[in-house]
């Protein structure tokens, strides 16, 4: 495991029980320019999660892509992921650090609350995520975050800031301009008719920033 940066298109996997199909989709996204991959599957049983995470770890090695596991620090450690992303109810940064070691990347969801980000940094988080900035089909009841909050947070925080929630290659430009280091995307990537092209369009937003 080596320390990596958090920047660019941050692809979050869909819940797909078909591992071969999932790997095919992810490979397209990586070929298109996704720089970070987060494995997130809320519905899979433990054996499938282990299988998929291990396969995705190998795939991300091939593309030299940062690999993050959602919520499950033990799984992240078991497959040699670069890090883990935790939410409000997923345990403390300190506990997660014990499982990942000093070089593991820990990201924390801070929703629309900058004070949560300050506390996460105090505990040793490596990046923070804010959202939802736009209506999300994945989390339709998610709290709303304002672009002005992102701008203010970017001025105050000295770690990478990830934006999430209903992001497309059209509305994502405003978030990059406001200071987002990475855009976390689900639906607009995996539901695209050409996943690689969709990834390239997101990647281009950072080249223009």
- Do 90 and 71 touch, CB atoms closer than 8 A? yes
Beta bridge mates, 108? 86, 128
Helices (H) and strands (E) in the chain, counts: 9, 8
Give dist(CA 179, CA 163) in Å, integer: 9
pLDDT value of residue 138: 79
Give dist(CA 92, CA 203) in Å, integer: 32
Helix (H, G, I), strand (E, B) or coil at 77: helix
Give dist(CA 170, CA 174) in Å, integer: 8
* Cβ-Cβ contacts under 8 Å for 4 (sequence gap 6 or more): 66, 82, 105
Residues marked active site are found at 40, 109, 139
pLDDT value of residue 139: 79
Torsion of CA 150, 205, 193, 66, to 10 degrees: -70
Give dist(CA 81, CA 128) in Å, integer: 18
- Do 39 and 53 touch, CB atoms closer than 8 A? yes
- pTM for the full predicted model: 0.95
Q: Tens digit of pLDDT per residue, the chain (209 long)?
A: 445 689 999 999 999 999 999 999 999 999 999 999 999 998 899 999 999 999 999 999 999 999 999 999 999 999 999 999 999 777 789 999 999 999 999 999 999 999 999 999 999 999 999 999 998 887 788 789 999 999 999 999 999 999 999 999 999 999 999 999 999 999 999 999 999 999 999 999 998 76
């Amino acid at each position: 495991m080596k320390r990596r940066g958090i920047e660019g298109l941050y692809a979050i996997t869909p819940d797909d029980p078909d591992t071969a199909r999932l790997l095919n989709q992810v490979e397209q996204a990586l070929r298109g320019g996704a720089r970070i991959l987060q494995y997130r599957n809320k519905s899979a049983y433990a054996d499938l999660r282990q299988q998929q995470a291990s396969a995705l770890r190998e795939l991300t090695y091939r593309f030299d892509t940062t690999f993050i596991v959602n919520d499950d620090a033990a799984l992240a450690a078991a497959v040699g992921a670069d890090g883990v992303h935790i939410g409000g109810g997923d345990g403390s940064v300190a506990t997660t650090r014990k499982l990942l070691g000093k070089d593991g990347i820990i990201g924390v969801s801070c929703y629309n609350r900058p004070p949560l980000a300050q506390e996460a940094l105090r505990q040793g988080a490596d990046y923070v995520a804010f959202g939802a900035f736009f209506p999300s089909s994945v989390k339709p009841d998610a709290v709303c975050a304002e672009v002005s909050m992102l701008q203010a947070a970017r001025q105050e925080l000295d770690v990478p800031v990830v934006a999430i929630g209903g992001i497309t290659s059209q509305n994502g430009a405003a978030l990059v301009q406001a200071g987002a280091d990475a855009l976390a995307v689900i639906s607009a990537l995996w539901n695209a008719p050409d996943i690689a092209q969709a990834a390239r369009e997101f990647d281009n937003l950072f080249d223009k920033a």
